[in-house]
Every structure is written in C-alpha cells, then in structure tokens.
Amino acid sequence: MSEFKIAQERKVATSIPGPKSQELHAKRLQAVSHGVGAALPVYIDHANGAILVDVDGNHFIDLGSGIGVVSIGHTNQGVIDAVSAQVAKLTHTLFTVTPYAAYVEVCEILNRHTPGDFEKRSALFNSGSEAVENAVKLARKFTGRGEIAVFDHAYHGRTNLTMAMNFKNMPYADGFGPFASSVTHVPMSYPFRDPSGMTGEEAAKRAITYMEKRVGAKNLAAIVIEPVQGEGGFISPAAGFLTALATWAKENGIVVVADEVQSGIARTGRWFASEWEPTFVPDLVTIAKGIAGGMVLSAVTGRADIMDSSHAGGIGGTFGGNPVSAAAAISVLQQIEAGGVLENATRIEGVLMSRLKALQASYPVIGDVRGRGAMIAIELVEPGTLNPNSAAVDTLVKHCHQNGVLVLNAGTYGNVIRFLPPLNISDALLNDALDVLTEGIAAL
Ligand code: PLZ
C-alpha cells in the first residue's frame, strides 16, 4: 500500500529478542531502574503504520499501539508535518504564563466531540493519571464533597491518588503506600462473570446500594468509571449499567467522570466509548493516549460549570498542553473529523470478532470474546469453567512475540489478551497476526 513507508509485513530475522536487543537490554539493566518493566525487550528503531522495526531488523505486527496510543498509526504523516512545523516555531511558553492558539484549538475540538450537548470547557495536561487527578480535583471543588467511588477491575494511573483508585495491588500499589483516602471501590458490571442474566440495571443497583451503605450519596463528589475497562481486560458493562448509575448520580448531585484514557479518541469506532450507550452522558471525560499520535498530551473536558468551578491558578502545570503536543493533537483530531478513522475501527472489529468467535467455537480455552471497535479481547479459562487461565495467556503471548506479533495481556487475573492495533492496520496484516495466534491456540 503506497500510504506506507515500510512494507506492512511481518518479518522475523533473528531469535527474539535478537542479539542487538540483548546487548541493549544488558546495558539497560545497568542504567534503568528495575522498577520499570518490559513486556517484550526488543528495542525498537523505527515504525510505520502497524509495523515496528527493531534494532535487529525484525518487523513486528503491532497489536498494542503502545497501549492504545498510536491509534492514528505509527509515524503518521499529518503528525510528522504538524510537529515538525511547530517545533521549529515555538516549543514552550507555559500556557498559564503566555498563551498560544494551539491549546485553545485542541479544547474547541474536544468540546465539540465529547458526549453531551451542554456548554463545555477543557483543560490540558500530560498523562492520563494527571487528567484523572484533575477531574477529581474539579469534582471535589464543584460539589464541596470529598468522597469518590471507583469500580472493581478499574485502572486509573500511577500517581498517589490514582494508585488508590486502581483495583489491583500488584504491580501498581504493592509497597507504595500509604495511599490517598476517601476512595471507595464498588462492584462493576462484568457480564462474563456476573450471575447469568444479570441486567445492567441490576448490576447498577448492586453498585448503588454499596455506595449508599458504605459512603452515603451526599458525601460523594464523583463516580469515576471507564466505559470500557482497559487494563481490567476490556470489560464492557451490561447495557443500561452506565445510564442507571448516571441517573442516580444526577439525582444526588454526584459528578460522573468517564475515564476514556484508553477507550476514547476513535478507539472503539466512536469518538468516545461512552457513546455506545447513548443515554449515558458523563459530566466530565478524561482523555489521553490516542489524542496526539504518540506525543504527550491529556485532557479533561466537560460541563462548563464544573470545569469553571476552580479559582484561576487552581488548575495547571508546566508542560500541560505543550505547543508541539497540541499541534500533533490538532492533526490527529482533524484526521478523525475528516472521516475514515472511525470506520477503520469498525472494520477492525469485523475482522477480529468474526475470527475470534470462530476460534472460541473450536477452542473452549477461550471463555469470552468481547470489546468494541479496535478494542477487542479474549478471556482465557480452564475449559468448561470460569477459572482464569493465565498460564495459557503467558504461553500464547510468548508464542506471538516469538513469531513477530506484539500482543498485550490484561485483566485482573492476567488471563486476558487484548488487541489494540493502530487503526490503519490492513486486513491482510491483521489476518496474518490472527493466523499466528491461531497456531498458538492450537498448540496449547
Ligand atoms: N486511565 C483508563 O488506561 C493508562 C497503563 C500503562 P497514564 N493505561 C496504561 C502502565 O503500565 O503504566 C490509563 C488508562 C486509564 C488512566 C490511565 C493512566 O494514564 O498516561 O499512563 O498516566
């Protein structure tokens, strides 16, 4: 395909990791904190589209997009052009000292495309964690309340507050406390593991009862929820769950924050995954990852009255909304507006879902196939049970890596494989990756 600068083909030239990667990895172990992990220690030299090329000349099919970041594709030409022009013009002022137009333009576009037809404002930050932190700050300021509720299997980041908001102790929190207080974890709707036939409304009632009894509605500033959980294993709540929660929150003056850091910006075939339940309209949305083609940027967008509730100077940060990142984001967002990107996510869903469902029919180790758009996962179990099968995931992930396919695991029990390809991956490349996965499953 001529749109690509690197042939969109898998090529395994050495053992994985190859000799040069191994050499770099040895250096890394001497230089880099061992607290920083490495899912696949092949050192990447360059990339394009959905292909990562390592220092040994291996070409990997990227089914992870750097955990959902380069949704627009690696080295997207629009991003390259925008960043190159901006970096030569202006790299920093600090928006709260002397502003620049690109920051405002990103906010305008986000205000236009996030759910809800109310008046909106946005603020820009650097990481997903920082966006979540700021959404909680604003919800507390607006409501004058302190408590927040989060969900089982959630992931919200690595800062002190967000560590307390995550479900999993390992690897995110173990030994890193004491943690922020005033965070309550409530039951999520998890259709694959909930009692069979449990509706979204019933699951919401379970969560609401928990919040009423544990916290008291009048003490809650915010409910923070991922409309499709990311690290938790691409769990989509049962239909009606999000709406029932939001309705209760509204009755009780509680701010609803949709954490769309992983699910947002075209990933699921909509601008935001919240839109899959049209009656669910969050008050605030947190955004990061896919927004700037790999450049560093995050945002909180939502109701103007909440976003404006802070005194001037209460919200900010040195690098938030950096001009180069903002230029990249404008390019990405304009490409989505121009059309074709959302459709690509839907196309990917078609290929992944049909092949993975067919695999599930033949291999009962696949307990569930789920997700939306280009955010699809399989949950592996001991056949005939709901017992998580993380050993099978480890074996499969390794098989894929050895054969030039980068897949990521996920899930509270480590028994989920998630697929988050760049949205411009071709059907041929996707099918080749699925052939590798199929071989691996057959060999289990
Ligand atoms: N909210 C929903 O998915 C980041 C974590 C990778 P940051 N998920 C990937 C890792 O191991 O650190 C994430 C998310 C949701 C918030 C975050 C946090 O975003 O940009 O990593 O801070």
Ligand 1 pocket test, pick from 130, 272, 289, 409 with the greatest ligand atom count within 8 Å of Cβ, gives: 289
Phi, then psi, of 281 in degrees rounded to 5:
-125, 100
| Of residues 220, 224, 230, 257, the one with CA closest to residue 114 | 257
CB-CB contact of 93 with 99 (8 Å): yes
List of residues 6+ apart from 351 with CB closer than 8 A: 427, 430, 431, 434
Ligand 1 pocket test, pick from 124, 156, 174 with the greatest ligand atom count within 8 Å of Cβ, gives: 156
Assess whether the C-beta atom of 156 lies below 6 angstroms from ligand 1: yes
Give the strand pairing for 255-259 and 220-225: parallel
> Starting at the edge strand that comes first in sequence, how are the strands of the sheet with 366-372 ordered?
366-372, 375-380, 416-419, 408-410
List residues bridging with 295 in a β-sheet: none
Q: Is the pLDDT of residue 2 over 60?
A: no
3-state helix, strand, coil in the chain (%, to 5): 40, 15, 45
Assess whether the C-beta atom of 226 lies below 6 angstroms from ligand 1: yes
Closest residue to atom 1 of ligand 1, CA basis: 156
Give the strand pairing for 298-303 and 366-372: unpaired
Q: Is the pLDDT of residue 118 over 90?
A: yes
> In sequence order, what DSSP letters do the residues of 107-175 get, joined into one string?
HHHHHHHSS-SS-EEEEEESSHHHHHHHHHHHHHHHH---EEEEETT----SSHHHHHH-S--TTTTTT
CB-CB contact of 112 with 333 (8 Å): no
Q: Is the pLDDT of residue 426 over 80?
A: yes
pLDDT in tens, 302-341: 999 999 999 999 999 999 999 999 999 999 999 999 999 9
How big is the CA angle at 248 (ends 228 and 158), to the nearest 5 degrees? Answer: 40
Q: Is the pLDDT of residue 366 over 50?
A: yes
* Burial track 425-437 (b if 16+ CB lie within 10 A, e otherwise): bbeebbebbbebb
Give the strand pairing for 120-125 and 298-303: antiparallel
pLDDT in tens, 141-194: 999 999 999 999 999 999 999 999 999 999 999 999 999 999 999 999 999 999
Identify the pLDDT of residue 332.
Answer: 98
pTM for this predicted structure: 0.98
Domains defined along the chain, listed by start: 19-62+341-442 (3.90.1150.10), 79-338 (3.40.640.10)
Question: How many Cβ atoms from other residues are within 10 Å of residue 66's Cβ?
Answer: 19
Assess whether the C-beta atom of 355 lies below 6 angstroms from ligand 1: no
Assess whether the C-beta atom of 127 lies below 6 angstroms from ligand 1: yes
CB-CB contact of 238 with 191 (8 Å): yes
State how far the alpha carbon of 296 is from the alpha carbons of 207, 228, 293, 329, 382, in Å: 34, 22, 9, 9, 40
Percentage of the chain modeled with pLDDT above 70: 100
CB-CB contact of 154 with 128 (8 Å): no
